[in-house]
Structure 1
Amino acid sequence: MDSPHGAAVKAEDFGLKGPRGWAFRGIGLDAAPGSLIAVEGPSGTGRTCLLLALTGRMKPTEGHAEIGRHRLPKKMAAVRRIAALGPVPGINDLDQSLTVAEQLREGALLQRHYGAPIRSLLRPRAERRATAAARIEAALDAAGLDLATLPKGERTTVRDLERLEAVRLSVAIALLGSPRLLALDDLDIKLSDTERTEVWALLRSIAARGVTVLAVCSEAPADAVVLRTGPKEDGGAPEAKQPTGAAGTPKITWGTRAKDGAEADRDAEAEADATGHAAVEKDSGERKDAAADAEKPAKADDGNDSNDDSNDDNDDTKGADDALAEAGRA
Structure 2
Amino acid sequence: MDVAHGAAIRAENLGMKGPRGWVFRGITLDASPGALIAVEGASGSGRTCLLLALTGRMKPTEGWAEVAGHRVPRKMAAVRRISALGPVPDVTDLDPSLTVAEQLRERALLRRRYDGPVRALLRPRAERAARTRSAVSAALDLVGLDLDTLPKGPRTSVRMLERLEELRLSLALALLADPQLVAVDDLDLKLSPAERDEAWELLRTIAASGVTVLAVCSEAPSDAIRVPVPSSAGQNLAPDPAARPGATEHTAPAQPQDAPGDGTDTGVDSTDPPEHRVDPPGPDHPTDELPQQDTTQEGAAGAITEAGRA
TM over 0.5: yes
1:43-82 matches, within 5 Å, as: 43-82=43-82
Q: Tell me, what secondary structure is at the counterpart of 1:25?
A: strand
In the TM superposition, residue 142 of structure 1 has moved relative to its aligned partner by: 1.1
1:29-68 Cα distance to aligned partner (Å, 9 max, x none): 0100100000001111110000001111111101111110
Q: CA deviation at 1:273?
A: 4.9
Task: Specify the SS of the correspondent of 1:66.
Answer: strand
Q: Tell me the distance in 2 between the aligned counterparts of 1:163 and 1:49.
A: 23
- State the distance in 1 between where 2:60 and 2:75 align: 12
- How far off its partner does 1:321 sit? 5.4
Alpha-carbon separation, structure 1, partners of 2:150 and 2:244: 41
Question: For 1:1-330, what aligned pairs fall within 5 Å after superposition?
Answer: 1-231=1-231, 257-259=233-235, 273-274=246-247, 285=252, 289-292=254-257, 295=258, 313-315=260-262, 318-320=263-265
Q: Relative to structure 1, is the Cα distance of residues 221 and 59 closer, same or farther in structure 2, using a 3 angstrom cutoff?
A: same
Deviations 1:297-323 (A, max 9, x none): xxxxxxxxxxxxxxxx332xx13459x
What is the distance in 2 between the residues matched to 1:107 and 1:171?
Answer: 13
Report the Cα distance in structure 2 between the residues aligned to 1:272 and 1:179, rounded to whole angstroms.
34
Displacement of 1:186: 0.3
Instruction: Mark the structure with the bigger radius of gyration.
Output: 1
How big is the shift at 1:156? 0.8
Q: Is the 8 A contact 2:55 2:183 kept in 1?
A: yes
Q: Which amino acid aligns with 1:319?
A: T
For each residue in 1:241-274, what CA deviation from the matched residue of structure 2 results, as whole angstroms up to 9, or x when unmatched? xxxxxxxxxxxxxxx72516xx99xx9xx98953
Which whole-Å CA distance do the structure 2 matches of 1:88 and 1:157 have between them?
Answer: 20
Contact 2:13–2:26 under 8 Å retained in 1? yes
Letter in 2 for 1:290: Q
Q: Alpha-carbon deviation of 1:154?
A: 0.8
CA distance in 2, matches of 1:10, 1:27: 10
Amino acid at match of 2:233: R
CA distance in 2, matches of 1:272, 1:204: 41
Post-superposition CA distance 1:147-204 (Å, at most 9, x none): 1111111111111111110111101111111111000000000111111111111100
Q: Is the 8 A contact 1:10 1:67 kept in 2?
A: yes
Q: Which runs of 4+ in 1 moved over 6 A?
A: none
Does structure 2 conserve the Cα–Cα contact (< 8 Å) formed by 1:34 and 1:210? yes
Q: Normalising to structure 2: TM-score of the pair?
A: 0.80
- Counting helix residues as a fraction of each chain, which structure ranks higher? 1
CA distance in 1, matches of 2:128, 2:82: 22
Q: How far apart are the structure 1 equivalents of 2:209 and 2:130?
A: 22
CA shift in 2, pair 1:160/1:186, >3 Å: same
Match for 1:34: what amino acid? G
Residue-pair matches, total: 266
Which residues of structure 1 form unaligned runs of 5+? 232-255, 297-312, 323-330
How far residue 126 of structure 1 moved from its aligned partner, in angstroms, is: 2.2
Say what the alpha-carbon RMSD is for the aligned residues. Answer: 2.6
Moved more, 219-228 or 112-121: 112-121
Cα distance in structure 2, aligned partners of 1:6 and 1:181 = 6
